[in-house]
Structure 1
Amino acid sequence: MRWRTSAALATVVAALLSGCGHSDTSPPTTYDRPSRELTPQFAGAPALPPPDLTDDGPGSLVRVEPVVDNASFDSANAAAVKVVFRSTSGAGTPTQVTGVVAVPPGTPPPGGWPVVSFGHEMTGVMNKCAPSRAPDFWGYAAQMVTFLSRGFAVALPDFQGLGLEGPGHSVIDAATLGNNMIDAARAVRRVSPEVSSRWAAFGVGEGGLAAWAAAERAGGYGNGMEMVGAVAVSPYADLSPLADAAAAGTLTKGEQVRLYMMVLQSLAASPGFQLDAYRGGLARQRWNEILDCAPGNPTEAVRALDRIAPDDLRPRDLAATDDLRRRLSEAALPSPLPTPGSAPVLVIWGTGDTVVPGTGIDNAVVAACKQGDAVEVMRRIGDTKPVNDQVINSALSWLMGRFDGQQLADSCQGVT
């Protein structure tokens, strides 16, 4: 079973149809009609050279393993590998991160294939919840093909704490997530010499937070790479409204409850944080089962999640609520001290989203605009789904504009 915070991206498929002429007379019965069998544009996936395993810091490769017999990558004639690359935690500690890298077929444009670092949605906080460890990478291979088919090399980082033993995973650690996205883009260049230093980020939910954070950090931590922009869809930019929703007993049943539990688990190792001040009853009894991305009995795990009552996740007192709100506000974007050279960001969200609190995204956008960040907004009034065809097309069009050097059309337009 796959737990997800929101609907998966729809894969964009372009169909090329050739025109066929006709006449008023039928062709003879012996007419040799041309074959209608579609053949790939290229003979096959590109042959990747031996990877560059030189250890020279963040983005350098530790291990590379070919991906074989993946229907999505095979359909796109893409060459794909699973990687372990070096990165840095938000606290400045050297780490290693796993992920998947794919390179499109054909002849790259001058300067090499541009890169998209793809930030996945929240899959869990356990080591085993890494997309690279799941069959078909939890469906992300098909989503990566959307970008591969547009001529991008693509990196899908698992994020620190997923896929490898070591530091734990946090769904709200923006600095770490941003570093992982930047280093994943660097790692692509070590997989293939036909890859450009120009890159962009795209992400949804937790991945949206990662994409936005990468844009903030591009001018400092991202030295040596040229980030053109980031698309953050329903980002976990400011989850502090969850504290008040839990106190009021108004968390939306199901996925928002689980998101809140993931947030609490992410804070569990923080100094002075008392996890049991925020959980009780069934939530405490079934905590590990509900947080498991692949529970032994998925049906029972879903039932347990649905049966959690408001009191099971209500902070024990006003002080606990205030402390949680403060911690989440401190973790929120934008960073109070942005670095020069940050990249522009397109923030997309639906006001009817029942999982990611829209008020938090609104607050983050307003704060970013007040401090002069280059932000465009796409607020979808009443929409409950983070991603649909319109979102994907808008994101792709916006990213192509950034790679083409276009300036933002209406930075912070309509933001109050």
Structure 2
Amino acid sequence: MGLTRRAVALAALVVALVLAGCGGEATSTSNGGETSWTNPAHVPFPGPGDVVEVTDWVSGGAEATQVSGKRILYRSTDVENRPIVVSGTVFVPSGQAPEGGWPILAIGHGSTGINVDCAPSLTPDLYGLLRLVRNYLRAGMAVTFADYSGLGTPSGPHPYLDPYAAARTMIDSVRAIRHVFPSMSSTWATYGISQGGAASWAADELAVDYAPELRLVGAVAQVPSTDKTPMVDLAAAGTLTLEQQGILQWLEESLARRHADFDLNNYRQGGLAERWTDLSGCGRSNARERALRQISASEFAPSSPAAAERLRTLLQSTALPRTRLSAPLYVLYGGADRFNAPEWITAGIRKACELGGPITITYSPGAGHGNVDTSGIARYLADRVAGVPVRDDCRR
């Protein structure tokens, strides 16, 4: 009977997600919500994934379409293995769990900002990804949605586009949901978009050593932010796209908050410094949107070769990949992406294949950051949970 329930759940996963589609990254309106927990230093840390606080979370919208879950504060670690408390939301499907418990999907969100109040759990729609959560719940998967460190709790400055930092919070969200709901399996997968795509990829690398008690069956990295070091040369040449200008500004502000010797004045030309505070707002900030329309690529030029090299070194320290994968990886990207140039992702895939796959690839030549072909994600995840052999494009 357990196998029958599992088969039904997997079939539902494919049908529900193919019909509804997998959403892209969120765009802008106003923020909502505030953090209520402000004292991580006084919390003991028995282990990553342990839950500190649980509160009800209900989405916005009409009552018939609302999604209910729990907002949690849970323990994790930063990239230096120091204990932190982070936040996120967790959801469980309705009905009876299959034998062995609900399989878990850890969703990694795209860029929302670098401030505490930029956390998806503080918005009524999870920064535009609520439909994605709803679809997976209907298909029979429990869902975790980590905010990432520095978003949602004062756990230190948000390490923007450090995929290994975000990956730890995603893995620990899987541990945490198993404390909150008793009907969870140890089987899990991860699916991320943009910033979350890189975090999903990094989680695949980390899982075998960081969380050996869990069984990762697959990871999906949609338009992942793999390596940002090429942006240094683009900044020096004044050829950053508008989208890359916004990303680089968040990156540099995040680096300055974490590295006392990183002097922002080495990276701000013209009137950029005057708009810096507005640019540092959350992704749904109207002030940030206005400021982005008032800057130019030439204003991001490093002041000297030494300044350029300092930035390049810091960005290289967080680049993907580093080591072989723990489970199969599915990478989706487009040839017209103005955030992540396709050649950056191609280089990351090539290196990951050398380190050890398997990797399945969907490349959409004419697609940008938000409209890649996602039609294969549902089947891919269902097959990973079911144990179906994977297509390894590293060998093709």
TM-score by length of 2: 0.84
Structure 2 residue 102 is the aligned partner of structure 1 residue 118? no
CA deviations on 1:300-356 (whole Å, 9 max, x unpaired) are 542321121222111112232233223222210111x44xx7122111110100112
SS at match of 1:177: helix
Letter in 1 for 2:65: S
* TM superposition shift of 1:14: 4.4
1:64 maps to which of 54, 57, 60: 54
* TM superposition shift of 1:121: 0.6
1:383 maps to which of 367, 383, 394: 367
Instruction: Identify the residue that residue 170 of structure 2 maps to in structure 1.
Output: 181
1:232 maps to which of 190, 204, 221: 221
Instruction: Identify the residue that residue 246 of structure 2 maps to in structure 1.
Output: 258
**What CA distance in whole angstroms lies between the structure 2 residues aligned with 1:91 and 1:355?**
28
* TM superposition shift of 1:71: 4.3
Structure 2 residue 320 is the aligned partner of structure 1 residue 330? no
Alignment of 1:85-96 (within 5 A): 85-96=74-85
Instruction: Identify the residue that residue 107 of structure 1 maps to in structure 2.
Output: 96
**What CA distance in whole angstroms lies between the structure 2 residues aligned with 1:267 and 1:162?**
15
Structure 2 residue 336 is the aligned partner of structure 1 residue 348? no
CA deviations on 1:195-238 (whole Å, 9 max, x unpaired) are 11100010111111110111000100012110111101111111
**What CA distance in whole angstroms lies between the structure 1 residues aligned with 2:86 and 2:117?**
13
Alignment of 1:81-230 (within 5 A): 81-230=70-219
Letter in 2 for 1:350: G
**What CA distance in whole angstroms lies between the structure 2 residues aligned with 1:203 and 1:344?**
14
**Contact preservation (8 Å) 2:223, 2:331:** yes
SS at match of 1:347: strand
Structure 2 residue 248 is the aligned partner of structure 1 residue 248? no
Structure 2 residue 391 is the aligned partner of structure 1 residue 402? no
Letter in 2 for 1:353: D
Instruction: Identify the residue that residue 25 of structure 1 maps to in structure 2.
Output: none
Letter in 2 for 1:252: T
**What CA distance in whole angstroms lies between the structure 1 residues aligned with 2:274 and 2:313?**
27
TM-score by length of 1: 0.80
**What CA distance in whole angstroms lies between the structure 1 residues aligned with 2:63 and 2:263?**
45
Q: Name the % identity.
A: 35
Letter in 2 for 1:270: H
**What CA distance in whole angstroms lies between the structure 1 residues aligned with 2:137 and 2:326?**
25
The CA RMSD measured in Å over matched residues stands at 2.4
**Contact preservation (8 Å) 2:204, 2:218:** yes
Structure 2 unaligned blocks of 5 or more: 1-15, 21-43
Structure 1 unaligned blocks of 5 or more: 1-10, 16-53
**What CA distance in whole angstroms lies between the structure 2 residues aligned with 1:179 and 1:164?**
15
Greater percentage in helix: 2
**What CA distance in whole angstroms lies between the structure 2 residues aligned with 1:354 and 1:69?**
31
Moved over 6 A (4+): none
Letter in 2 for 1:410: D
Instruction: Identify the residue that residue 75 of structure 1 maps to in structure 2.
Output: 65
